[in-house]
Chains A and B, each alone.
Chain A
Amino acid sequence: MTPAVGTDYNLPALPISQRIAFMITGIGFLCHTTALGIQLQSGIPFNSMQEAISFFSWAIVFIFFWVELKYRIYVMGSLVLPMAFLSLISVATLPLENHPVDKTLKGTLLGIHTTLSVLGIVAFAIAAVVGIMYLVQEKSLKSKQFGPLYYKLPALGLLDQWNKTALFWGIPLLTLGIISGAFWSQYALGFFWSNSPKQLLAISAWFFYLIVLQGRITSGWRARRAALLSIIGFMGIIFIFTTLA
């Protein structure tokens, strides 16, 4: 997987350089997809931190392609691709664990837990990326300084809508991820809940997003506030992961 972080999408890039970056990212994404596909033949392959993070970077690049191709908004890459790249770099620095794929119920539960949790986190990452885009675009509109980014970034309303969609997907995915994790814990270790720092941090992040979503629905925590909270929430998640690793 080779995210093309070399190209800065922020600048009014020449179409040719953009095309090259898009192609390189595409090739990397296809390689990664193929690798995942081969691994999937023998069960859900996510039973280590590296694999979880690697899956994270695959999923976020998938979303990047989906948005670029559907909405023709060629600016998300400048935030998403470095994120994918850094997460892959972090995989490389982690001590190498090599678990064989476990096809028993225990292994399957762990795989389901990892997949759902990672997808939930991807949704929150997108919410944060969209939040950053929102703040940048809001700044252009407020300050009335119309740089190239102003023309590239989508409307505030659309960004806020994406933020909402991301939260709506993220909460159930993370909820199911935590529940399946608890079941795995019960099955593998004999208890649902252990008050370990990992669990406490995970549950507090989940709770944070629940409040954000609740506030969004009932108290008008939308627009700028939603963007800020999404960014803070995702920084919290990154903090949790780096502490755990």
Chain B
Amino acid sequence: MNIILIGLNHRTAPVEMREQFALSEEKIGEALCALKKNPLIQEALILSTCNRVEIYAVVTHTEEGCDRLKDFFLNLSDKTSPAMASALYIYSSRDCLRHLFRVASSLNSMIIGEPQILGQLKDAFDLALSHKSTGVLLNKVFKKAISVAKRVRTETKIAENAVSISYAAVELAKKIFGKLHHKSVMLVGAGEMAELAARHFISNGVQSFFIANRSYEKALALASEYNGIPVKFEDFVVEMSQSDIVLCSTGAAHYLIGPQEVAKVIAARQNRPIFFIDISVPRNIDPAINKLDNVFLYDIDDLKLSVEENLRAREAEALKAEEIVAEEVTQIIRWFKSLDAVPMIVALKEMAEEVRAKEMQRTLDQMGSFTPEQREAISGLTVSIVNKLLHGPLTALKEETHGNNGNALLEATQKLFLLGKKE
């Protein structure tokens, strides 16, 4: 039994590839149900954000499980290419846990220290819980990951002056417009990211903002919460000419905004610059609009560039966070391994005792009468032999299972002593 992870993220795969794998909540549910049916896979959880798609699983056999999960992962996309397979990373046991803790603590994020990933991780966990696809192991591990993330946030300065995609977008808007006091923002799509961005823009003083959403009720709700103006989704292109900043984050699978619409908007705005931010994956704005004069378009990958400076400043804090993660990984590995080692130690002892008692009884029966003292002596002898023989393996199980080769050791013990195969 082992915990494994397969996935790709913004470092290994470009947005064009990630959008092929990005899963909606509904699709995640279907995928989790499919995974549950596989006898190799005992527990599973899927984390799908703009920057990463990762499947965490507990499998009975590591190698087979990895292969099966890899096939499953590649099948999530309609078309496969060799580049996809090479963009994947596969981690097991310690590496997997370390990766998870780093992801939760936002050490693996595009922008180190950004706060959204923890929320996304919690959502993914809740989704898996609601589909009953997790068990003791993943529950424990993910709860731990969330608490590690909180510890990192409070003990390091990694989240101070929090940078995130939305924060980076605000910084860019300031480089285009200067002060944002008389500017207006339009949100197209009212997801969590859009809401966060809206809060950033409000705290930076934007005058007004429009909210367009496919569900008009949600637009209304958000508008009343943040004192914005709701816009019918059909009308957002028309209203765009009043907006200096357009932030697009819908779940649409195609481009919503193209060069033709934007050319009209720019003409209506009399060449006032307009800043488009497309944080949706798949992208909702045609990249061709960036070629138009006075139009600035940034997609999610472009934002990466603009925050490199901040990343450098965070590296020192990230080092401290890595230490915390390493410490926590060691702890959870101990728990994880002990979970396997304890029943194995018990099973090994029970098997030895069974064999000893059975063989001794047979010998005593064959050889006739012994005095109780003699019986006692023979029994002591056999116990002592068994204990001496088992001393090495048991010590190794108790100690070495916390080390790097713990899993191999457990599997080897199982094979060498034919444990679990005797019934």
Q: Per-position contact with A for B271-286: 1 when CB-CB < 8 Å, else 0?
A: 1110000000000000
Query: Contacts A142-B290, A224-B293 hold; do A156 and B273 have CB atoms under 8 A apart?
Result: yes
Q: Which residues of A contact B290 (CB under 8 A)?
A: 142
Q: How far is the CA of A157 from the CA of B308 in the complex (A)?
A: 24
Residues of B within 8 A of A221 (CB): 271
B178 at the interface (CB under 8 A from A): yes
Q: Which of B174, B296, B308 contacts A146 (CB 8 A)?
A: B308
**Are B305 and A144 interface neighbours, CB within 8 A?**
yes
Q: Which residues of A contact B306 (CB under 8 A)?
A: 144, 146
Could you say which of A144, A155, A156, A224 contacts B298, with CB atoms under 8 Å apart? A144
Nearest-neighbour CB distance to chain B for A71, whole angstroms, equals 11
- CB nearest to A153 among chain B residues: B175
Q: Taking the nearest CB of chain A, how far is it from the CB of B420, in angstroms? A: 57
Chain B residues with CB under 8 Å of A224's CB are 271, 293-294
Residues in A with CB closer than 8 Å to B298 are 144
A150 to B308, CA, bound (A): 13
- In the assembly, what is the distance between CA of A219 and CA of B269, in Å? 10
Asked whether A10 is an interface residue with its Cβ less than 8 Å from the other chain, the reply is no
B172-185 interface code vs A (CB 8 A; 1 in, 0 out): 10111111000000
CB distance from B380 to the nearest CB of A (A): 79
A150 touches B271 (CB 8 A): no
The closest CB in chain B to the CB of A218 belongs to: B270
Given A142-B296, A144-B306, A146-B305, A223–B174 Cβ distance below 8 Å?
no
Q: Which residues does chain A contribute within 8 Å of B175, judged by CB atoms? A: 137, 141, 150, 155-156
Is B64 at the interface (CB under 8 A from chain A)?
no
A189 within 8 A of partner (CB): no
Q: Does A33 contact B (CB under 8 A)?
A: no
Kindly state the separation between the CA atoms of A223 and B179 in the bound complex, as whole angstroms. Answer: 16
Interface of A is mostly: helix
The verdict on B192 contacting chain A, using a C-beta distance below 8 Å, is: no
Closest Cβ of chain A to B199, distance in Å, is: 22
Q: Check B177–A222 contact: CB distance below 8 A.
A: no
Instruction: Answer whether residue B67 sits at the interface, using C-beta atoms and an 8 A cutoff.
Output: no
Option from A144, A155, A161, A219 in Cβ contact (under 8 Å) with B176: A155
- The CA-CA distance from A103 to B208 in the complex, in Å, is 59
Are A141 and B172 within 8 A (Cβ)? yes
B302 contacts A154, C-beta separation under 8 Å: no
A225 in contact (CB, < 8 A): yes
Q: In the complex, what residue of chain A is closest to B173 when comparing beta carbons?
A: A155
- A219 engages B294 (CB within 8 Å): no
Q: Is A220 an interface residue, CB under 8 A from the partner?
A: yes
**Binary contact track A188-224/B, C-beta < 8 Å → 1, others 0:** 0000000000000000000000000000000111111
Using A146-B305, A146-B308, A224-B293 as known contacts, say yes or no to A141 and B271 having CB atoms under 8 A apart: no
A157 contacts which chain B residues (CB < 8 A)? Answer: 176-179, 273
Contacting B at CB under 8 A, from A128-156, are 137, 141-142, 144-146, 150-151, 154-156
A146 contacts across to B, CB distance below 8 A: 305-306, 308-309
> Which B residue sits closest to A150, measured CB to CB?
B175
Q: Is the CB–CB distance between A223 and B271 below 8 Å?
A: yes
A31 to B235, CA, bound (A): 63
- CB <8 Å contact, A219 and B270: yes
A152-180 vs B, CB cutoff 8 Å, 1 = contact: the mask equals 00111110010000000000000000000
**Contact between chains at B302 and A222 (CB < 8 Å):** no
Contact present for B176 and A141 (CB under 8 Å): yes
Counting chain B CB atoms within 10 Å of each CB, which of A137, A141, A145, A225 scores highest? A141
B residues near A145, Cβ cutoff 8 Å: 305
Q: What's the minimum C-beta distance from A159 to chain B, rounded to whole angstroms?
A: 9
Contact of B272 among A141, A150, A158, A222 (CB under 8 A): A222
CA distance A137 to B294 in the complex (A): 12
**What sequence of 0s and 1s flags, for each residue 61-99 of chain B, a beta carbon within 8 Å of any chain A beta carbon?**
000000000000000000000000000000000000000
Shortest CB-to-CB span from A38 to chain B, Å, is 41
B172 — which chain A residues lie within 8 A by C-beta? 141
Can you name the residue of chain A whose Cβ is closest to the Cβ of B244? A157
B271 touches A155 (CB 8 A): no
| Partner pick for B178 among A142, A150, A158, A222, CB 8 A cutoff | A158
Return B291 CB to nearest CB of chain A, in Å.
Answer: 9
Q: Give bound CA distance, A158 to B174, whole Å.
A: 10
Q: Could you give, for residues 155-178 of chain B, a 1 whenever the CB lies within 8 Å of some chain A CB and a 0 otherwise? A: 000000000000000001011111
Contact (A155, B174) CB under 8 Å given A144-B305, A224-B293:
yes
What residues on A are CB-neighbors of B174 within 8 Å? 155
Interface residues of B in 293-349 (CB under 8 A from A): 293-294, 296, 298, 302, 305-306, 308-309
Cα distance A154–B271 in the bound complex, in angstroms: 20
Min CB distance B246 to A, Å, is: 16
Closest chain A residue, CB of each to CB of B275? A141
B305 x A222 contact (CB < 8 A): no
Nearest-neighbour CB distance to chain B for A73, whole angstroms, equals 12
A156/B308 contact (C-beta < 8 A), A219-B270, A220-B271, A223-B272 known:
no
- Which residue numbers of B lie inside 8 Å of A, CB to CB? 172, 174-179, 269-273, 290, 293-294, 296, 298, 302, 305-306, 308-309
7 intermolecular pairs with C-beta atoms under 8 Å apart = A137-B175, A141-B176, A144-B306, A146-B309, A155-B178, A156-B176, A220-B271
